[in-house]
Structure formats: C-alpha cells, structure tokens
Amino acid sequence: MSIENTIRCILREKVLPSHKEKQLTERGMIYVAQGVNLDEALGGNKPKEIVFCPHQDDAEIGIGPYLAKYYHAKGFLFVYHTNGVGGLIRDAASRERALQLFGKEPNEIVPEELVQRRREQAEKAMEFFQVPAGIFLGYDSIKKGHAREREASIETVALLLNAIKPEKIFIPQPFDQHLTHRIATYICGCAAARASWDGEILGYSVWGPVPYDVPTQDEFFEEGYVDMMRAAIHLHKTEMVKNYGEAKACMMRMDAIATVNKPDALSERYLMRNMKLGHLKGMTRQGVRDSIASCIHDKKMANEFLENCDK
C-alpha cells in the first residue's frame, strides 16, 4: 500500500488550519494533513525513527534527552494515539490552574478546549525539537469500551511501519504504571508482529523506570540535554502540576548510579524489545498480550490490562 493511501486511512481530520500550516511550513515545519502525501510532506526524507505516544507529552518525557541530542541528525515522526482529553481538569483543587490556563472555572472547560490546548502544546514541543511531522490520531481513549479505536490504532501503526520502514521505533515500555501506556505498548506490539518490518524497538519510560533485571540500551547525556528536556516538558503547561521534568531527571541520575556507578552521570534506559516483549515478529496478539501482562507484577493491574485488551 502506498504511503498516500496509508495517510488517507489513518488521519481522521486535518491536523492544522491551513493558515497555521502555512506558517509552520514557512518556518521549515510540516504537519501532515488529511489527504496529503507523507512523502511529499517530508520532502522525500522518510523519518528514520518513529515515536509512538499515547499522550501529547510522552515523547518529551519518554525520550526528551535523546531528542535533544539527536534532533539535528535524525528525522523523527511523532504519532499520538489519544487526544489527551482524559487529563481534563475537573477537580476543585485544580481551580487555580484552570483559571490561569483557561481563564475559567474547572467545570466550565469543555473537552474540545483541552484537546485543542494539548495539541498546540505538542506542536510547540515538536517545533522545539524541529520534528518535521506529527500524526494526531485523535482518539478520546484506547481503553476498554474503545475497541474500535484500538483496532484502528493497530492497523495504523502496522501501515506506518510497512510504508516508512523506520530504522527504530520508540514505544512505551510494558512496565509502565499507566494503563493507557501499556495499551499503547500492546497496540505497537501487535502492529510490529503483523508488519513486514524488522527494525529496532525500544521501550521508553514515563510512569516508572525500566526494571534493572531486563536487557536495556543505555544512553548517556550531558546536563544540557536534560535541561532541554525540562524546557520541552514545560511546554505542556496543562500537565505541569505533575513536575515530570524533575522526576525524569532524578530517574536518569538513579539509572546512572545503578548501572555504571557514576553519581554525576545521567542515563536513560530503554527496554530492548527482544526480551520481555518477545521477538514480536509473527507473534499472535495473545502472545503480545501475555508478554506484556507478565511484566505487570500486581495481579489486579494485570487483570485490568487483559480486560482492556479484550473489549
């Protein structure tokens, strides 16, 4: 299947209003819109590495320093599964934040406003790292009750892998505490098993570290790259109550101490695909599912994950 068809299949709506798209194009950025040929949009340069993100801030949290170090050298494509509406500011404790960010009371913010805001924040982060293309699949959820969206996501990821044949893809690692992240791991795993593609798969961390007893690829970073990660994460202002930047920097220091015993180093550890995720190639969905479920030590959480994969 051609890339053009692929993109037609997968984009649910135009990514940006045309005037904004034009502005961004003039600044050297291209967002792929519905019906646009991805090859043309990328100027014939196919992305070498794809980052699959359940939410709008996962690329920056998951591989922020890697993006800071390599954005000049590699072509990235970001693919966002959900539209981020799940993070809607609802509680009274978020009042100050809602007033500050939206100029409204929490209960007055409609979902569309948050979706729009989260997309804009993602666009700013892409601009920050000069990421040439992003695909927003725009699903409200990929969890239980959204089987259609989940299936479409699997289809999309498989089509992208076949059409682009990236050297490497980044997906959430299966030990993540966030259910949506693990569903995204499952989606990408099923797609990788189905696609005729055999590139490298690395699992990145957002909600929790990769355990120390599994094979990883370690990458070391200078402070400056970590500062860039912090700056990029801070572009996601709607999420900033969670202080991910500091949490991630601490995790990187911890990883460096634990793996190479260097207190001043900063490392990011990515789970390598060929162990806990199996080899994936030709694996059944059940195999991918069981492999991910086996990474979840809490029985209740494991059952929740399996249930979510079923319906």
Residue 58, SS3 per DSSP: helix
* Span interacting with Zn ion, options 17-25, 53-61, 161-169, 303-311, rule CB under 5 A: 53-61
* Span interacting with Zn ion, options 56-64, 75-83, 149-157, 269-277, rule CB under 5 A: 56-64
Q: In the set 49, 51, 55, 149, which binds Zn ion (CB under 5 A)?
A: 55
* CB closer to Zn ion, 58 vs 255: 58
- 186: its two tokens: 């499952």
- Residues 194 and 154 sit within 8 Å (Cβ to Cβ): yes
CA–CA separation, 154 vs 184, rounded Å? 9
Angle at 76 between CA 71 and CA 81, to 5 degrees: 130
Per-residue interface string for the shown chain with Zn ion, residues 11-50, x marking contact by CB under 5 A: ----------------------------------------
Residue nearest to Zn ion (CB): 55
**Taking CB under 5 A as the rule, does residue 239 contact Zn ion?**
no
CA distances from 183 to 152, 282, 303 (A): 13, 19, 13
Q: In the set 21, 58, 176, 239, which binds Zn ion (CB under 5 A)?
A: 58
- Report the b/e string of 295-306 with b at 16+ CB within 10 A: bbeeeeebebbe
CA–CA separation, 69 vs 181, rounded Å? 24
What's the closest the beta carbon of residue 295 comes to Zn ion, in angstroms? 17
What's the closest the beta carbon of residue 17 comes to Zn ion, in angstroms? 26
* CB closer to Zn ion, 6 vs 156: 156
* CB closer to Zn ion, 58 vs 219: 58
What's the closest the beta carbon of residue 115 comes to Zn ion, in angstroms? 15
DSSP letter, residue 272: E
Only one residue has tokens 């040439």, namely 132
Q: What residues make contact with Zn ion under the rule CB under 5 A?
A: 54-55, 58
